[in-house]
Each structure stands twice: as structure tokens, then as C-alpha cells.
């Protein structure tokens, strides 16, 4: 049974690892002497296309999916940078409070 993952909760290395795992499910191959192929259109249906039309279909699908993925990657990077800036500010505040506490203790 497939496990559901909320990708918004994953950090960059986890997203990259998940992407690599998904990439490994694909098996590269070449067709020779084939005029028609069946394509799974993800609705429980297959359609028959010429090999050339199938290449165009998958090129379009790849382009269509790449644009949102680029936006997601950008948002994840921005979110990670913001989180790092917040954590750095928190470290600075802790250092200030620690220094203030130490100076008050010596007075």
C-alpha cells in the first residue's frame, strides 16, 4: 500500500531524495520498428498513438509538469532561506539575552 507524504512538510534534502526515488521508477528504453504504441492517460484508459505522436504527447506532458515543479522548487528554496534567517535571528536573540543575564549577574 502506498504511503501518503505531505511534501510541504519536507525540507530540501528530503524533497530531493523523494524526487530521486520517483526518478528510479522510470526505466529508459528504445522502440525499434514500432508504428503504434499504447499510452496510459492516467484515467484508467489507454490510447493508441503513432510513435511520433507519443513522443509529442510526452514532451507536452513533461513541459506542462515542469513549470509547476519549478515554482514549487523556488517556493521551497525561499521558505528554507526564510527559515534559516529566522533561526539565525533567534540564535542572536538568545546570545543577547545570555549576555544580558551574565552582565546583570555580575552587578
Does a structural domain hold residue 75? yes
Q: How far is CA 17 from the centre of its chain?
A: 9
Tens digit of pLDDT for each residue in 15-70? 888 888 877 776 778 888 889 999 988 888 999 999 999 999 999 988 888 888 88
Of the candidates 20, 7, 6, 4, the residue with the CA atom closest to the CA atom of residue 75: 7
Domain limits for position 99:
15-106
Contact (Cβ atoms closer than 8 angstroms) between residue 76 and residue 15: yes
Does a structural domain hold residue 5? no
Does a structural domain hold residue 92? yes
State the Cα–Cα distance between residues 24 and 83, nearest whole angstrom: 30
Does a structural domain hold residue 9? no
State the Cα–Cα distance between residues 22 and 18, nearest whole angstrom: 6
Taking each helix axis as running N to C, give the angle between helix 12-24 and helix 51-106, from 0 to 180 degrees, rounded to the nearest 10: 160
Does a structural domain hold residue 6? no
Number of domain units in the chain = 1
Does a structural domain hold residue 69? yes
State the Cα–Cα distance between residues 60 and 66, nearest whole angstrom: 10
State the Cα–Cα distance between residues 80 and 87, nearest whole angstrom: 10
Tens digit of pLDDT for each residue in 80-94? 899 999 999 999 999
Does a structural domain hold residue 71? yes
Amino acid at each position: 500500500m502506498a504511503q501518503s507524504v505531505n511534501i510541504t512538510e519536507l525540507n530540501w534534502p528530503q524533497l530531493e531524495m523523494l524526487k530521486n526515488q520517483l526518478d528510479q521508477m522510470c526505466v529508459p528504453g528504445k522502440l525499434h520498428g514500432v508504428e503504434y504504441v499504447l499510452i496510459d492517460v492516467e484515467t484508467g484508459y489507454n490510447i493508441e498513438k503513432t510513435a511520433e505522436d507519443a513522443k509529442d504527447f510526452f514532451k507536452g506532458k513533461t513541459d506542462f509538469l515542469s513549470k509547476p515543479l519549478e515554482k514549487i522548487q523556488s517556493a521551497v528554496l525561499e521558505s528554507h532561506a526564510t527559515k534559516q534567517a529566522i533561526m539565525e535571528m533567534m540564535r542572536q536573540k538568545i546570545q543577547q539575552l545570555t549576555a544580558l543575564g551574565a552582565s546583570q549577574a555580575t552587578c
